[in-house]
Amino acid sequence: MMASTYGPAYVEERDGERISSQRHRIYALLSEQQWFTLAEIEAQTGDPQASISSQLRHLRKPKFGGHTVLRRHIADGVHQYQLHLHHTFIGGECIEKQCGHKQGGEEQGQQQLF
């Protein structure tokens, strides 16, 4: 049996939609490429901070885009996070909805799909 990306307690039928929706909400917010604390992300998405932290780790994995998630210390154990998108191009256009990046720019982590 193959181990789940989400750990041994994960059950697709029970958890799949919830986890996927969380990741999409967090991704959509961080796609603005601003800096956010976990508390700020929680306030805007309604997702618990522990889940947000987990989803930020997932966004770094190739399976979920291989994005770069930057972290900087603010004060007293508080950090801010910023997402740098890994752009995937088909026909010179980024496949992410409403991204607008064109291939050949200065973006890091570009991947071409044919």
Q: What is the CATH number of the domain that holds 37?
A: 1.10.10.10
Distance CA 92, CA 87 (A): 11
Which residues, in sequence order, are bridge partners of residue 61?
A: none
Distance, CA of 27 to CA of 55 (rounded, Å):
9
pLDDT at 46 over 90: yes
In a domain, 1, yes or no: no
Mean pLDDT of 91-112: 51
Half-sphere exposure of 60 (CA within 13 A, CB side): 11
How many domains is the chain built from? 1
Whether residue 105 lies inside any domain: the answer is yes
Mean predicted confidence (pLDDT) in 33-59: 95
pLDDT at 62: 83
Would 2 be classed as within a structural domain?
no
User: For 50-67, what is each residue's pLDDT tens digit?
Assistant: 999 999 999 888 888 888
User: What is the predicted pLDDT for the residue at 9?
Assistant: 76
Cα separation values, 106 from 42, 86, 87, 113, Å:
31, 12, 11, 18
pLDDT of residue 89: 63
CA distance 25 to 106: 27
Q: How confident is the model at residue 91 (pLDDT cuts 50, 70, 90)?
A: low
Q: Which residues of 8-40 are buried (b: 16+ CB within 10 A; e: fewer)?
A: eeeeeeeeeeebeebbebbbebbeeeebbebee
Provide, rounded to the nearest whole percent, the portion of the chain with pLDDT above 90.
36
- The whole domain housing 51 covers 12-113
Does residue 6 fall inside a structural domain?
A: no
Q: What mean pLDDT is predicted for residues 40-55?
A: 96
Residue 38 maps to a domain: yes
- C-alpha 18: how far from chain center: 15
**Does 5 reside within a domain?**
no
Question: Quick check: is 3 in a domain?
Answer: no
